[in-house]
Amino acid sequence: MAKKNLEEFAYHSIIRLILDNHFKPGDFLLETQLSEDLELSRTPVRHALGQLVAEGFLDKKKKKGCFIPAVSPEDARHIFTVRENLEGLAAASAARQVTDRDVAFLYGLLDQEEALKKAPSKLAYVHVNESFHLGIARISQNKYLEQYCRHAFWRSHSYIFFFDNYYTGKLVSGNQETGPRQHMEIVQAIENRNEEKAGNLMKQHVRTTFEQMFVKL
Amino acid sequence: MAKKNLEEFAYHSIIRLILDNHFKPGDFLLETQLSEDLELSRTPVRHALGQLVAEGFLDKKKKKGCFIPAVSPEDARHIFTVRENLEGLAAASAARQVTDRDVAFLYGLLDQEEALKKAPSKLAYVHVNESFHLGIARISQNKYLEQYCRHAFWRSHSYIFFFDNYYTGKLVSGNQETGPRQHMEIVQAIENRNEEKAGNLMKQHVRTTFEQMFVKL
DNA sequence: CCCTGTAATTATGTGTACATTAATAACTTT
DNA sequence: AAAGTTATTAATGTACACATAATTACAGGG
């Protein structure tokens, strides 16, 4: 990534590190270490960390540092409850605002998911999934809804990696079965401008993701 | 306010300035000027502004500065739609989690509202109202829900001041009639642990606030 | 008069030195 | 050996000087 703007560079780099599971819950993200790794001074790193904390992406202990928030079944339930409602609302709104161009975009993502069945790649699946959920949030045309959906999605995503590490794959592979099918139904509801159905399907989809993840608990 | 932690001091001071209508939409909040006004260096001010931007409270133009976001009927509808759903969810969750202590707290706020009818004060009303809405978000025991509710509330609050300035008082005084009554009904539903009713009442309450605000448009 | 290119201005963006403090380790005392 | 106390350490918190870029003002040519 180009380093035109160091603050943005630091911000996106750190997010990428987190989403790619470079840290585990409880790990501290030290300003000094990050600035060394990213080869820039503490100032932009510090700014980026401040943003991530403000967004609820990281927790912070004063005079100690920023760290990946602890995970717990209760915390997961909290974030997925919010996601369920926010994304349900987003899907309903998207069904109202959707353009032909948006529909084409969503079908393009479904095609990518289909292609991934032949050549499975967890990272690729994660990226398509992110595009799908955040794409619908964007189509809702409500910037606040989009913002909250993005944060909630990112936060909840830590759980996918975390539990995937500890409960080896079963749930994610399960999600790779039901996920794409539910995605298709959601896209169809949005295409048909059926707000209520789109909202309910999305709500159900997020809930399913949560339940599959915690099948072991 | 004590200046133990300058970053926090700057953050809260700036929020207070915004909520107390010290700026109007489009106004720039300059680091240099704020640091002069608050009598501290640019560093903590800059950090605080960064947080507020990350939270969606302020907009930012690169190399130009942070400014109060533009207002529009559409933007108001967006933020109030989200608030309606988030706070509805929060009220329902609060009805599940509420303790006797919480109930007492909420009734205390109702008493304060009652007292304000005899000695009206807009600022006092605004503060009690904030305590009510954010209090219920807190009682929900869901930190993500609380976080999003707080942001959405603050953002929507700019509208109250903004339109109150341009459409002089009528709507806010209207809200001072229906507001407290709806608040009481919500508290009662929460006290009775009636999740669905609490959620619906809160949703309706937020929507009423929005509609009263835009009675002129 | 307007358009365009350039210089001045102004505020943010960045690096760095230093202050502060929370956590920990070392040490004393009982 | 346990408990309390002090010193060290390692990271954040803060200030400030300077770099950079966007906006504005202005001058000159069409």
At A35-81, the pLDDT tens digits run 999 999 999 999 999 999 998 889 999 999 999 998 888 999 999 99
Q: Which residues on A lie below 8 Å from B54 (Cβ)?
A: 50-52, 54-55
Question: How confident is the model over A146-160, as pLDDT tens digits?
Answer: 999 998 998 887 787
Degrees (nearest 5) of the Cα angle B96, B102, B103? 85
Which of B58, B144, B157, B158 is best to mutate for the A interface (most A CBs within 10 A)?
B144
Which chain D positions have some atom within 7 A of a protein CB? Answer: 11-17, 20-23
- d(Cα A161, Cα B50) in Å, to the nearest integer? 29
Q: Is B65 helix (H, G, I), strand (E, B) or coil?
A: strand
Tokens read off for B127: 């503060």
- d(Cα A170, Cα A175) in Å, to the nearest integer? 9
Q: Which of B46, B51, B78 sits opposite A144 (nearest CB)?
A: B78
For the entire predicted model, the pTM comes to 0.85
Tokens read off for B151: 């942001």
Tokens read off for A55: 């967004």
Cα dihedral: B74, B78, B79, B83 (round 10): 140
Question: How confident is the model over B72-126, as pLDDT tens digits?
Answer: 889 999 999 999 999 999 999 999 999 999 999 999 999 999 888 888 777 788 8
Which of A82, A84, A142, A148 is best to mutate for the B interface (most B CBs within 10 A)?
A82
Domains of chain B: 6-67 (1.10.10.10), 73-213 (1.20.120.530)
- Closest nt to residue B43, judged CA to C1': D14
Beta bridge partners of A60: A66
Interchain contact A24–B (C-beta under 8 A): no
Confirm if A201 and A191 have CB atoms less than 8 A apart: no
Please answer yes or no on whether A85 and B85 come within 8 Å at the CB atom.
yes
